[in-house]
């Protein structure tokens, strides 16, 4: 291989590396929750139900999306806004805001609420269980991470 060809190859490799570095989307997060706690359900019981019914697909830390997006600060947040998660077209176009009402409908049966849903979770027909989960979700609050611009 000629020296020119070698340099071309190295150049292409560097370009590919740079490109892949640019494509990496940094962990995204939602704005802090402003709604008051949802108190019509039992948040402690909701935490147990969440672990069982939601935890295999959802995580609570920015950047750690499993099958579903992480859910920190979900209560009161607009739907499908995390830049580092690939949502269904349906949810992206929904214009939904995750208050107690929309969460209740969605958790009850996601595929019924959103025919194009990517969330293939078992329906939760028990209204009391849903209220408990929503109460728990409303406790998930984290301040936005500090962005250090001067580094
Ligand atoms: C089998 C995996 C799975 C389970 C179980 C599951 N989810 Fe999901 N969830 C998803 C996926 C995938 C999405 C993305 C949906 C889309 O893009 O249409 C999602 C989306 C969501 C969203 C919207 C997030 C956003 O950023 O707008 C909420 C809220 C949510 N799930 C709550 C729950 C709750 C609460 C439970 C438990 C009761 C649960 N999910 C159980 C996979 C799951």
Name the least confident of 24-33, 35-44, 79-88, 105-114.
Answer: 24-33
Q: What is the pLDDT of residue 43?
A: 98
- Are 138 and 32 in contact, with CB atoms under 8 Å apart? no
What is the pLDDT, as a whole number, of residue 7?
77
Atom of ligand 1 nearest to the CA of 117: 18
More confident residue, 78 or 117: 78
From residue 97, give the alpha-carbon distance in Å to each of 103, 117, 126: 9, 16, 22
Contacts of 76 (CB under 8 A, 6+ apart): 33, 34, 35, 97, 98, 99
Contact between residue 100 and residue 130 where contact means Cβ atoms under 8 Å apart: no
Domain coordinates of the chain in residue numbers?
Answer: 27-137
Residue having the nearest C-alpha atom to atom 17 of ligand 1: 87
Q: Rounded to a whole number, what is the largest CA-CA distance in the chain?
A: 74
Q: Is the pLDDT of residue 60 over 90?
A: yes
Indicate whether 56 pLDDT > 70.
Answer: yes
Pocket test for ligand 1, best of 48, 54, 139 (most atoms within 8 A of CB): 54
Does residue 19 have a pLDDT over 70? no
**Reported confidence tier of residue 22, pLDDT bands at 50, 70, 90:** low
Domain 27-137: CATH architecture, name and number where available: Orthogonal Bundle (1.10)
> Does residue 29 or residue 15 have the better pLDDT?
29
Token pair listed for 6? 């070698």
**Residue 45 has what pLDDT?**
98
Q: Would you say how long the chain is, in residues?
A: 151
Determine the average pLDDT of the residues in 114-139. Answer: 96
pLDDT at 26: 87
Residues with C-beta less than 6 Å from any ligand 1 atom: 53-54, 56-58, 67-69, 71, 74, 79-80, 82, 87-88, 91, 98, 107, 117-121, 124, 133
């Amino acid at each position: 291989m000629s020296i020119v060809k070698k340099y071309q190859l190295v150049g292409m490799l560097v370009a590919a590396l740079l490109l892949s570095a640019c494509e990496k989307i940094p962990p995204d997060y939602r704005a802090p929750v402003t709604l008051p706690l949802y108190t019509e359900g039992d948040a402690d019981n909701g935490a147990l139900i969440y672990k069982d019914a939601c935890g295999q697909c959802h995580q609570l830390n920015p950047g750690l999306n499993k099958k579903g997006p992480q859910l920190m600060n979900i209560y009161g947040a607009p739907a499908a806004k995390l830049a580092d998660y690939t949502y269904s077209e349906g949810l992206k176009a929904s214009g939904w805001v995750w208050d107690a009402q929309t969460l209740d409908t969605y958790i009850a049966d996601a595929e019924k609420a959103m025919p194009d849903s990517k969330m293939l979770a078992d329906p939760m027909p028990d209204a009391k269980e849903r209220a408990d989960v929503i109460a728990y979700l409303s406790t998930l609050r984290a301040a936005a991470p500090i962005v250090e611009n001067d580094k």
